[in-house]
Amino acid sequence: MSFVSNSTGAFFERSLGQMGNLRASLEKLQAQIATGERISRGSEDPAAAARLRALERRERLAAVEEDNAVKLAQDLTSGSIQLAGVTAILQRARELAIQAANDTTGPEGRAIIAQELSQMEEELFTRANGVTLTGEPLFAGTAGGPAFTRDASGNVTYAGNTEEGAVTIAPGTDIARGLDGRQVFEFDLAGVPSSTFAVLGALADAMNGGSPDPAGAARAAIDGLDTALESATRGTTILGTRLAWVETVRDNQVEQEILRAEQASEAGDTDLGEAIARLQQTLTALEASQESFTRVSSLTLFDAL
């Protein structure tokens, strides 16, 4: 009797354990189908879980790099806009210098030119001290204050530093966010240090009666304006090249994001077709086990025992 009793108990335990395992498998498959996630615990697939963690870390870093790239593109665009304005100012100043160099232009005409040049000086100073969308100076390097200052006599000096402030936008890819203002607005004329402000200011003073030969001063200013234009154009080219580089990196970031999503899907997403098929198989097996258990446990032999 002891042997039969033990066998009966073992049968019940084995049957219940088997059905319990099938129910657990059923619940797991239902959860996978409902959430779309194949792995709920790392122990279920250590290799896939490790791969998912690595992808998540890379995704977090990528998010920071993408934010940097967006802001950098905005900063470079802002700088390009300001330099486009500077170029327009210098082109107009050159036209006025040519007009003033004409001996037929009298004092009244030059006074009008001087007035326009003075207004252009103010606009040039404003653009040289342009800021990003977040209020950071565009041409002061990494300095937090204005790029240029003006003393009581009207002399303009550079107040920034020579650091351009590189920004990381991808692994191993750092791009400078701006230009040192000296690169754009300061240069040498015939070996003598000068600046866009000095050239424009001297021309305005000459047209306002500050030179005994205003026509000659206007002709002499043309070379300085050409040099200033060349410097501004070079700065625009540098910013444009950097912006194109950023756009290329951003395109690559989109491709990498898609690739990471595909890899994460392969590692951790549920294969719905396979999961549904396994769910049906498990349901069938569970139903068969339940029916078999019911039939076997209701036999006369068990009742007798």
* Residue 258 confidence (pLDDT): 79
CA–CA separation, 71 and 75 (whole Å) = 6
Long-range contacts, 226-231 (Cβ 8 Å, 24+): 226/94, 227/187, 227/189, 227/194, 227/199, 228/90, 228/185, 228/187, 228/196, 228/199, 228/200, 229/87, 229/90, 229/91, 229/94, 231/183, 231/184, 231/185, 231/186, 231/187, 231/196
* Residue 86 confidence (pLDDT): 97
Backbone angles phi, psi at 176, to 5 degrees: -65, 140
Residues 6+ apart with CB under 8 A from 252: 170
Residues 6+ apart with CB under 8 A from 36: 269, 270, 272
Read off the DSSP letter of residue 210.
I
By residue count, the chain amounts to 305
Task: Sketch the domain layout of the chain as residue ranges.
Answer: 2-36+270-304, 56-263
Straight-line distance from the first to the last Cα atom of the chain, in angstroms, rounded to the nearest whole number: 8
Token duo for residue 285: 């097996």
Angle value at C-alpha 116, between 111 and 119, nearest 5 degrees = 130
C-alpha distances (whole Å) from 207 to each of 70, 187, 194, 198 are 45, 23, 19, 14
Closest of 186, 172, 197 to residue 65, by C-alpha: 172
Token duo for residue 98: 């040519």
CATH number of 56-263: 1.20.1330.10
CA–CA separation, 201 and 45 (whole Å) = 73
% the chain with pLDDT above 90: 46
Q: Which residues of the chain fall short of a pLDDT of 70?
A: 1-45, 47-50, 52, 55, 260-305
Closest of 72, 76, 70 to residue 238, by C-alpha: 76
